Amino acid sequence: MEPLLELARMVEQSRPATAIRMVPWLYPALMALHVLGIALLVGGAAAFDARLLGLARREVPLAGAARLLLPLSRAGFALTLVTGLAMAAAMAGTVVQSAAAPVKFGLLLLAGVNVLVFHARVLPGLPAGGAVPGAARLCALASLVLWTGITFAGRWLAYA
């Protein structure tokens, strides 16, 4: 833990990280953008997952839903990543000592694996209509559970 904490303290004392703490509106603005990113990321993913699980209207074509929702989700992830890293840099010492951090970043890793498996193995074989294959439904369920868990762990990070 010691070398990691030392590294975190160095990051925290860098000029950009110090600016994020010192400029009064900057951290709240990053947090607001983080939340907007989460809305796009989790909203897009959840709507597509609901379609895969048969919870959303089946007359919406899968390919159309993917073309609309997955780019929104990707843009949301990019925004969440950039703002999350900036906030984490500003409070790096606290983040590496937080009990919530391993949970949040561990779940993020699993969500990343789920996205990779879905895009490499499942999405190319999705039928245009009809029944959704079991593997796609499993990925959708994992996605819903993981993004929900990450959201809870993200909120917990402010307290732990």
Position 35 contacts ligand HEM (CB under 6 A): yes
Site string for ligand HEM, 93-112 (x = CB under 6 A): --x------------x----
DSSP calls for 49-92: HHHHTT-S-TTS-HHHHHHHHHHHHHHHHHHHHHHHHHHHHHTH
**Which of 67, 79, 141, 69 shows the shortest CA–CA distance to 149?**
141
Position 52 contacts ligand HEM (CB under 6 A): no
**Which of 105, 95, 92, 76 shows the shortest CA–CA distance to 16?**
92
Q: Which is nearer to ligand HEM, 83 or 136 (CB)?
A: 83
Position 80 contacts ligand HEM (CB under 6 A): yes
Position 87 contacts ligand HEM (CB under 6 A): yes
Cβ proximity of 89 and 11 under 8 Å: yes
**Site residues (vs ligand HEM, CB under 6 A):** 31, 34-35, 38, 41-42, 80-81, 84-85, 87-88, 95, 108, 147, 150-151, 154-155, 157-158
